[in-house]
Chains A and B, each alone.
Chain A
Amino acid sequence: MSATKWEVVIGLETHTQLKTQSKIFSGSSVAFGASPNVQSSAVDIALPGVLPVLNREAVVCAIKFGLAVGATIAPRSIFARKNYFYPDLPKGYQISQFEIPVVQGGGLAIRVGEVEKYVHLTRAHLEEDAGKSLHEDFQGKTGIDLNRAGTPLLEIVSEPDMRSSAEAVAYAKALHALVQWIGICDGNMQEGSFRCDANVSVRPVGQKEFGTRREIKNLNSFRFMQQAIDFEVQWQINEIEEGRAIQQATVLFNSDTGETRAMRSKEDAHDYRYFPDPDLLPLEITPAWIAEVKASLPELPEAMKARFESDYGLSAYDAATLSASREMANYFEETLTAAGRENAKLCANWVMGEVAGRLNKDGMEISAGHAVPLAPTLLAGIIRRITDNTLSNKMAREVFDALWVGEEKDADAVIAARGLTQVTDSGAIESVIDEVLATNAKSVEEFHAGKDKAFNSLVGQVMKATKGKADPQQVNDLLRKKLAT
């Protein structure tokens, strides 16, 4: 075993499919799942003589993103042609941005556990997607589906700021949440709306220069990203330790074997012959346009997190968790509004605890298109009954479960139907305690002998006798008082 300690260096390139009505350079629909080629116009199939016309909606998405990551929005950016031949690339070139991208710089905060880190972005540029080659369904031939050709993408390129697969995944997750938060991407990874390439290299700790990188292409799940990077890092370390130099290459991750394998080396790299696309004018974005887009942006997660901390007194961790997605944050704030600001911590605990847990258990997510079965006002109703001591926590969870599956119209209705009112009358509780003490002389004896367990047993007996309706704290206090006398 070598004594060298290795540092991992990771940068990510993310292709984000923009949530526009139509394609980036034609009027065709971008809806997923249509029959092959029905969503491809003369422009998309690159008939002779057709010309691209930029979709302003895609530009708005790029501006939104730039604003959300604190980047510079280029006042003038250039579309370029990236030339290569492939059957699903109809024009023989992809329209992209090369020298001057629309979004320059910026960055976003990520968290791994309690550690926060800022990842810098190099750039984000607009480009069109290619079509799909279908190799399975045609014996010995390849089918071409050009529905996806011309779909608008924002390629977001990070600096090589990540130092572990966990950081890479945290960055990808933060980015994934952000693009959905600002409404520019549906985030659907199965349908390819959010796909990452990871540039991975290793270097001895303390070395300034980067090691030679290999690029893992097309990672479309966070789990695969973690697996692929971990495998790749170990592979690179082994190679170097066994005296072999890393060759720059593009690699693919095989999720069945969990391994990465080289697809092409640097020598086979294309010469894309980039040059400015003469069919498109430079993209000019005025300060007025930026201001207009800015006005339409929702509150951003970082700002919301800070507000949760300062206005509601939440911990940094709670604030970060609740602002992880716009839907989660909205749910929390609606609950809070109905339950009262003074109950912020309780609302936060319930949203992060019961609600998130139950959603997770049911395989659901708080996200667009998934309504939470329990409306925030209903949750607030439960919380109000906790704070006015009507419900114990245990009872509250019972009410929660009932409302979740749609029983009754609100918390009070469940309470009434199930007779769940907590007993807080100390006289009533005291008489039960007297009864329990009388019938459990042995436990009382053990308690006086110093056995704390006996006390818990007595509390349990009281709770059992009140069918769980007594306020546990009250039972505790009264019991200790009685036993002390």
Chain B
Amino acid sequence: MINASLKELSAALAQRKISAVELATLFLNRIERLNPALNAFITTDREKTLAQAQRSDDARKVGAGDTVAFQSKAPLSGIPLAHKDIFCTQGWRTTCGSKMLANFVSPYDAHVVERMATAGMVTLGKLNMDEFAMGSSNETSFFGAVKNPWDVSRVPGGSSGGSAAAIAARLAPAATGTDTGGSIRQPAALCGLTGIKPTYGVVSRYGMIAFASSLDQAGPMAKSAEDCALLLTAMAGFDTRDSTSLERPAEDYSRDLNQPLTGLKIGLPKEFFGDGMDADVRSAVEAALDEYRKLGATTVEVSLPNSALSVPAYYVIAPAEASSNLSRFDGVRYGYRAPEYTDLADMYAKTRAQGFGAEVKRRILIGTYVLSHGYYDAYYLQAQKIRRLIAADFSAAFEQCDVIMGPTSPSVAFAFGAKNADPVQMYLSDIYTISTNLAGLPGMSLPCGFGNNNMPVGLQIIGHWFDEAKMLNTAHQYQQVTDWHSRMPEGLA
């Protein structure tokens, strides 16, 4: 059951082979047993989870007269899911991985949480993450680092590291994640999972604690593209509460999964296949491309000439927005407040000095600096111009191809502490993922083999705006002829 796909779980529930309560219990028990070694969950609440599972079981009973109808209306009902702790969840502690919100219980549900609950999915708990989603290794969490289930001496990637580790260790069949510069795709790659960051605006950001508003986008993480398609169909949709949410007709992201890939044109940006990539990653990615050629796809070299500028532009725009977004954490209305202070300014200073971790403070400082009078034009405006150039590069590339492929991350999962000393080294972990966020494009990662030390390697697929269904089709067809996505770390049975 722990290795089952969402479709299989859905069928098992429909056929009454298992109840939602039993399924939730099974995963809760695994969490209880395995989480202490992995630290993937920050919060679990058996009572709340089982109550929600019971409601799904009750709903199924009411709908029992017509199993087919219930199943088609609520295919995900009763399937457990865990939320990244960046999503406000009513009645649940929602920490964002920070001391600042360590005791914050949200009075409302994020749109994503609401959508998944409406679909009947059962919340298993809240997942660990880099503090305020700032990090690529999950080492910045106030609640301690998450361990990679493939090798607990290594990082799971970040910032959705808890989501990735939980699924890899089969503590949850699926999870929500968010991706500002690669935070779904990089941990998916490092933990051997499939995850998709949709086009900016496809999933509402309401209730998702903001890191960098113009880049943040929620998406699903799971074992396979097929699972992600089901989850994204439930998650996506227009929301009047988010002005950047796009008003488009609802989509069934599973609709094209079984299309053959004959004639698919895959663009390979020469900038993604340069010196920055480790050899083990390169050979796994190239083997995957060979597999795609066997499936009938052709490859063409494309160029994204400004991609070298994506990391510097990102590290201006994202901190700038973050410095402002995180101003609300001031100790006045909720969250952490320093226990002792002399006056208002001192309260602010101590609260924020004590409540935020080092990486968050670094980014607030960078962001404050680049927005300051006299520096704004040189940094923020320049970065915005680069952003437009990067989007134009992609548009030009998509005239030659249907999807773009390359590595998700330049290396497999690294050891704890390996990149802590030099933030720039850490920032370069996202060198292949950041440009899609800057362009607002959809991007996904799927497992394509194993590299050094038998650690998973991720293949990245980048699509044109709103091409999620095509990307999921591309990934699914590959997963029909490979089994990387169904591999599971040893010793976690």
Contacts and interface: CB of A to CB of B under 8 A. Distances in A.
Contact of A275 (B107, B324, B326): B324
Contact of A48 (B96, B244, B380): B96
B206 A50 contact: yes
A49 interface: yes
B301 interface: no
A478 to B, nearest CB: 81
Interface in A44-67: 45-54
Contacts of B210: 48-49, 279
A171 B459 CA distance: 66
Nearest to B347: A87
A279 B110 CA distance: 16
A271 B206 contact: no
A175 B229 CA distance: 57
A144 B330 CA distance: 14
A81 interface: yes
Among A51, A52, A81: residue with most chain B CB under 10 A:
A51
B208 interface: yes
A87 B351 CA distance: 13
Nearest to A85: B348
B209 A53 contact: no
Interface string A88-114: 001111000000000000000000000
Nearest to A146: B333
B380 A83 contact: no
Among A54, A83, A280, A281: residue with most chain B CB under 10 A:
A83
B327 A83 contact: yes
Interface residues of B, number: 44
B241 interface: yes
A278 interface: yes
Contact of A49 (B207, B212, B321): B207
Interface stretch (B32-40, B59-67, B230-238, B367-375): B367-375
A364 interface: no
B324 A52 contact: no
Contacts of B106: 47-49
A275 B104 CA distance: 29
A93 B214 CA distance: 17
B268 to A, nearest CB: 32
Contacts of B341: none
Given A45-B333, A278-B214, A51 B328 contact: no
A59 to B, nearest CB: 13
A273 interface: yes
A48 B327 contact: no
B380 A93 contact: no
Interface string B173-211: 000000000000000000000000000000001111110
A438 to B, nearest CB: 91
Contacts of A47: 88, 106-108, 334
Given A47-B106, A51-B205, A92 B242 contact: no
A275 B206 contact: no
A297 interface: no
Interface in B204-250: 205-210, 212-214, 240-244
A97 to B, nearest CB: 15
Given A47-B107, A49-B207, A51-B242, A278 B327 contact: no
B332 A280 contact: no
Contacts of B378: none
Given A50-B206, A52-B243, A273 B348 contact: no
B465 interface: no
B368 A91 contact: no
Interface string A259-280: 0000000000001011100111
A82 to B, nearest CB: 10
A98 to B, nearest CB: 11
A271 B205 CA distance: 29
Contacts of A51: 205-206, 241-243
Interface in A30-79: 42, 45-54
Among A49, A52, A92, A144: residue with most chain B CB under 10 A:
A49
A279 B324 contact: no
A92 B324 contact: yes
A273 B320 CA distance: 9
B94 A281 contact: no
A49 B88 contact: yes
Interface string B314-346: 000000110110111110111000000000100
A271 B328 contact: no
Nearest to B373: A271
B311 interface: no
Contact of A83 (B214, B242, B371): B371
Interface string B360-372: 0000000010011
A47 B89 CA distance: 12
Contacts of B108: 42, 47
Among B321, B326, B328, B334: residue with most chain A CB under 10 A:
B328
A132 to B, nearest CB: 13
Nearest to B207: A49
B102 to A, nearest CB: 13
List the 7 shortest-distance A-B pairs measured between CB atoms, nearest first: A92-B327, A273-B371, A278-B214, A278-B213, A49-B207, A48-B209, A46-B328
Given A48-B104, A49-B210, A273-B376, 17 more contacts: A46-B328, A47-B88, A47-B108, A48-B88, A48-B106, A48-B328, A49-B209, A50-B207, A52-B243, A53-B242, A83-B324, A93-B327, A271-B373, A274-B371, A275-B371, A278-B213, A281-B244
26 contacts: A47-B334, A48-B94, A48-B329, A49-B88, A49-B106, A49-B206, A49-B207, A49-B209, A49-B210, A51-B242, A81-B324, A85-B327, A85-B348, A87-B332, A92-B326, A93-B324, A144-B333, A271-B373, A273-B324, A274-B376, A275-B320, A275-B324, A275-B371, A275-B380, A278-B214, A279-B210
